[in-house]
């Protein structure tokens, strides 16, 4: 054990003592929130679970601090507890509006805004809370000492942010705050840098694998996104125990990117029909009639599937293989349908487009691969349910597809791709691009609300799936931030995010 690992071990003991010795509700709420935001919560899952249970047992009828009420609401919702948004009613005036005096409580406004992100479609009071808090926060955007927190919350609320990235950005803010706990701060810094070194080694190994695979030598038309694929997998599962899962998720994302580019940018309809048939048969040796570049790709793809099969066998979950296979088949069918529409000039309706593109967004395939690779032996009922493309996966896919379309519309048109949801919406509704964007943004927000709804009081067997889907959605929120596709065009924000997580350590 290195000196850093030994110090982390010592600090973890001190934090556990701190958690159990904190009985005051306000202190307990703040401590749990700090553990989450600093990115060290994964060391204390049992302790946090017990703290949340205690927080739930404390009825907040007598709490008149908007910050505490909002923080309690968010922490409970994040853990799947059933908690009514009616707790915010007491902060309204006689006209049913949020009291103006709340606008002077900056920390309260931030927490109210963050809490509103956990709303569902049948909770109008949280819509009002969001509008009220955001309106006032935007007016105080540059005010110290909370300017960094306000800016971050408005850009990416904590609930929607990638956990590693949120920790990386919050640690320097926390260090400057009056409420900074030096034990938590030291642990957060050491732990982040320790994990970063692990992730850097993984990325290096992943890059070597991709280079040795040699696909880009023969498929130069495809996007080459090694660091971006690993960043995506890191956003889903960052914990050290998920190293193997990260590798496979990154590999599958990379391969799906190539498949997408084969259908979108290179293959003829005749070639793509044969290519699709290979996946339908799931026989990667039966490739007669295919061009060389497709044979090369399918050989590489088959190799990764063999690796996955060996991993499943090692974990005693080989029966999961069937569900991974069955998640790929509808994906290539959807890609082929889009290619047919493009090549025949067919203009699908918005409904037709969504039915197909929700599958081609690949989120169902990725969540299936991710869940099936976990250590847990999943029941047949859970696996069969996953194959149906559950509501939470559909919501994630809607978010991914619509955000992707709004971000990459011009790029896809340059590749002579099928009209996106943006163009179809404009055409069907007879509206401007700005109006269509507003409509799609509303659908994105409704998708988030559906995800939130599915995460409330879930069956124990589905909690891990929900978390995986939520994390995939968080990655997309960051990748397609402000309607920019930073996966296809990684210069700028994606490059900065990768640098923050995988290049630059946190300085003492």
Spatial contact of 166 and 39, defined as CB atoms under 8 Å apart: yes
Summarize pLDDT for 313-362 with one digit per residue, the tens: 999 999 999 999 999 999 999 999 999 999 999 999 999 999 999 999 99
Both structure tokens of 508: 């003492």
Q: Supply the angle between the helices 391-414 and 421-429 in degrees, to the nearest 10.
A: 90
490 compared with 112, residue with greater pLDDT: 112
Summarize pLDDT for 208-221 with one digit per residue, the tens: 999 999 898 888 88
> Is 0.85 surpassed by the pTM of this model?
yes
Both structure tokens of 470: 């939520």
Summarize pLDDT for 476-501 with one digit per residue, the tens: 999 887 667 666 666 678 899 999 99
Both structure tokens of 300: 């590489």
Question: What string of H, E and C letters represents the secondary structure of 381-404?
Answer: HHHHHHHCCCHHHHHHHHHHHHHH
For the chain, which domains are there?
A: 3-187 (1.50.10.130), 214-502 (1.10.600.10)
Question: What is the three-class DSSP state of 98?
Answer: strand
Residue-level pLDDT at 44: 98
Residue among 24, 34, 99 nearest 63 (CA): 24
Instruction: Considering only the C-alpha atoms of the chain, give the largest distance between any 2 of them, rounded to a whole number of Å.
Output: 75
Spatial contact of 372 and 312, defined as CB atoms under 8 Å apart: yes
């Amino acid at each position: 054990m290195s000196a850093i690992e030994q110090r982390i071990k010592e600090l973890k003991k001190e934090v556990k003592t701190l958690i159990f010795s904190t009985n005051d509700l306000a202190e307990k709420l703040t401590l749990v929130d700090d553990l989450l935001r600093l990115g060290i919560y994964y060391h204390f899952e049992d302790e946090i679970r017990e703290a949340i249970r205690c927080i739930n047992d404390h009825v907040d009828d007598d709490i008149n601090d908007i910050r505490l009420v909002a923080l309690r609401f968010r922490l409970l919702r994040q853990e799947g507890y059933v908690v009514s948004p009616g707790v915010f009613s007491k902060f309204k005036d006689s006209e049913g509006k949020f009291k103006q005096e709340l606008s002077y409580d900056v920390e309260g406004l931030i927490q109210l805004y963050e809490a509103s992100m956990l709303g569902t479609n049948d909770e109008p009071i949280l819509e009002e809370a969001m509008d009220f808090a955001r309106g006032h926060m935007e007016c105080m955007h540059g005010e110290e000492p909370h300017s960094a927190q306000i800016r971050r919350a408005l850009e990416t609320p904590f609930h929607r942010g990638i956990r590693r990235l949120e920790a990386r950005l919050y640690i320097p803010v926390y260090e400057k705050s009056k409420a900074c706990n030096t034990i938590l701060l030291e642990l957060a810094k050491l732990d982040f840098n320790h994990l970063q070194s692990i992730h850097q080694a993984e990325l290096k190994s992943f890059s070597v694998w991709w280079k040795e695979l040699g696909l880009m030598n023969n498929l130069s038309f495809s996007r080459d996104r090694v660091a971006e694929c690993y960043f995506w997998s890191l956003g889903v599962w960052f914990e050290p125990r998920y190293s193997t899962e990260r590798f496979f998720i990154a590999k599958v994302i990379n391969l799906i990117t190539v498949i997408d580019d084969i259908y979108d940018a290179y293959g003829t309809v005749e070639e793509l029909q044969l290519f699709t048939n290979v996946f339908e048969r799931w026989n990667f040796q039966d490739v007669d009639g295919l061009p060389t570049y497709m044979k090369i790709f399918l050989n590489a793809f088959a190799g990764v599937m063999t690796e996955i099969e060996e991993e499943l066998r090692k974990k005693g979950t080989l029966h999961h293989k069937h569900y991974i296979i069955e998640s790929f088949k509808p994906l290539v069918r959807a890609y082929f349908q889009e290619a047919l529409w493009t090549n025949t000039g067919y203009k699908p309706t918005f409904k037709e487009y969504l039915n197909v593109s929700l599958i081609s967004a690949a989120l169902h395939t990725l969540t299936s691969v991710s869940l099936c690779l976990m250590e847990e032996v999943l029941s047949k009922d859970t696996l069969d349910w996953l194959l149906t493309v559950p509501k939470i996966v559909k919501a994630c896919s809607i978010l991914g597809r619509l955000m992707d379309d709004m971000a990459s519309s011009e790029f896809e048109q340059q590749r002579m791709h099928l009209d996106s949801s943006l163009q179809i919406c404009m055409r069907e509704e007879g509206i401007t691009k700005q109006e269509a964007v507003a409509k799609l943004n509303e659908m994105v927000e409704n998708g988030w609300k559906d995800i939130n709804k599915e995460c409330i009081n879930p069956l124990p067997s589905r909690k891990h799936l929900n978390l995986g889907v939520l994390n995939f959605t968080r990655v997309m929120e960051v990748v397609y931030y402000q309607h920019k596709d930073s996966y296809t065009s990684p210069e700028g924000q994606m490059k900065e995010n990768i640098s923050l997580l995988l290049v630059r350590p946190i300085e003492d």
